[in-house]
Amino acid sequence: MSTNNNNVSQKAPVKKTRGDYLHEQMVLRGELPQQAEPLNKKRFAIKALIILAVIAIIFFACILRINANTAYDVAVQNGETLEMPPDHEYLSIYLLVRLLAIVGAVLFLFYAVIKLIAPKRRKPNRSFWGDLGIYIMLALFAVAMAFPLVFSICASLKPLDELFRFPPTVFAQHPTLDNFSDLFVTMGQSWVPFSRYLVNTVFITFAGTFGHLVIASMAAFVLAKYDFPGGKTFFSIIVTALMFSGYVTGIPNYVIMSRLKMIDTYWAVPLPAFAAPMGLFLMKQFMESLPDALIEAAHLDGAGEFRIFWNIVMPNVKPAWLTMIIFSVQSLWNTNAATVIYSENKKTLVYALQQIQAGGIARTGQAAAVTVIVMLVPITIFILSQSQILETMASSGLKD
């Protein structure tokens, strides 16, 4: 009996990776470098601060000399007589040194951050300069991805004179919230209250997302875990439906809603969203990764189909339905529903904001504020659930 307990208590053997194999070969050949002394982070941080302070002194010294020479040039253009700075002919050198100081500070910051926060590498897979190159490349991609968002937020904080300045500037020199206050004043002058547009949008988004989640999850559970005649054909139709965008299905949706007498009602937008193929496809692919033994064990314990679906399947596919919620909220929140809703008191928030954007040059600042408000909700939901989205994308194609 004790032997069996010992066998059970033993851990399963760890599968060796290619990195483990290469590490063992390097050990056998004696090719591993000598272990370096552990990094003293406090001492390294002090050295880094000293180096950055020296770079900052050089930078600001160049700035002072450049400003002195620039002031002299401006005074000469205005007809004033000032004593020429002794280093006027070295202005280009000061500009070059300032640029080198900026580049050096950025590179050294990358170096210091990697040294201080990078985890200890178990195996010599990459050199430090390889890590530095990867971090620099990722930083450049991050700047390129974040630039439109930063530019939109900064544009909403600019006064009108800065919005029309050419060449345009990225950051607001005199930031103000007047664009947002003017937007709320304009919305308050409408005969339909601003809160009405907001309530309409929240209802459409919530109803469409909830219905899409329930219907897509139930259908995906049946398609993923049960074999029935026509199941593969039905899933092939769903995959084919992914090829068609909302512009293609707009006319069929309008005809169906018209036959159901639901045009110009709140259900004209969320009801077609129930049958969106993207959520069904995503949930089905993710549910296939669940082991069938889990479902069979629940059946043996006497659990019903709905209880298995609600208490076992749905908690295990949480990343998938969170991802589906984000996609659904983004689609429904940004719809203006102008083709199926005609009454002004049933219009969505995006429709009302788009009417303000079409107000001409005088409302350019309000249009910039509208852009920030419209994208605020989807971005916030994505930031709160981004880890679940990454897990869904990484494992949705895996099967038991």
Where is average pLDDT lowest: 46-50, 321-325, 330-334, 381-385? Answer: 381-385
Instruction: Decide: 312 and 353 in contact? Cβ < 8 Å.
Output: no
At residue 84, the pLDDT reads: 64
Q: What is the enclosing helix (H) or strand (E) of 128?
A: helix 128-156
**The length of the chain, given as a count of residues:** 400
**Given pLDDT bands bounded at 50, 70 and 90, which one contains residue 390?**
low
pLDDT > 70? residue 10 = no
Across 119-134, average pLDDT: 61
Q: At what angle do helices 194-225 and 277-287 cross, to 10 degrees?
A: 40
Low-confidence winner among 13-27, 78-92, 340-354 (lowest mean pLDDT): 13-27
Query: What is the C-alpha to C-alpha distance for residues 216 and 233, in angstroms, rounded to an integer?
Result: 17
- For the cut 70, the answer to whether the pLDDT of residue 247 exceeds it is yes
Say whether pLDDT at 9 is over 60. no
Rounded Cα–Cα distance for residues 309 and 299 (Å)? 11
Q: Which letter does DSSP use for residue 243 in this model?
A: T
* 17-21, 179-183, 327-331: range with lowest mean pLDDT: 17-21
Going by pLDDT thresholds of 50, 70 and 90, the confidence category of residue 37 is low
- pLDDT at position 258 over 80: yes
Residues 6+ apart with CB under 8 A from 85: 65, 68, 69, 72
pLDDT average, residue stretch 364-373: 81
Rounded distance, CA 154 to CA 147, Å? 10
Rounded to an integer, the average pLDDT of 109-124 is: 62
Please give the Cα distance from 101 to 106 (Å, whole number).
9
Q: Euclidean distance between the first and final Cα of the chain, in Å?
A: 33
Q: Does 32 or 330 have the greater pLDDT score?
A: 330
Q: Does the structure show a pLDDT above 60 at 393?
A: no
The percent of residues above 70 in pLDDT, for the chain, comes to 78
Please state the three-class secondary structure of 268-336 as a single string: HCHHHHCCCHHHHHHHHHHHCCCCHHHHHHHHHCCCCHHHHHHHHHHHHCHHHHHHHHHHHHHHHHCCC
**Does position 8 have pLDDT exceeding 50, yes or no?**
no
| Cβ neighbour number for residue 174 with a 10 Å cutoff | 9
For position 22, what pLDDT does the model report?
A: 62
Take residue 345 and report the two structure tokens written for it: 């008191």
Question: What does the block give as tokens for 120?
Answer: 């200890």
Q: What is the mean pLDDT of residues 133-139?
A: 80
CA distances from 256 to 28, 192, 261, 305 (A): 72, 29, 9, 32
Cis? peptide before 270, omega within 30° of 0? no
At 197 the pLDDT is 82
Res. 21: pLDDT tops 50: yes
pLDDT the model gives residue 210 = 92
Average pLDDT over every residue of 171-180: 81
Q: Which domains does the chain have, with CATH numbers?
A: 41-163 (no CATH), 180-395 (1.10.3720.10)
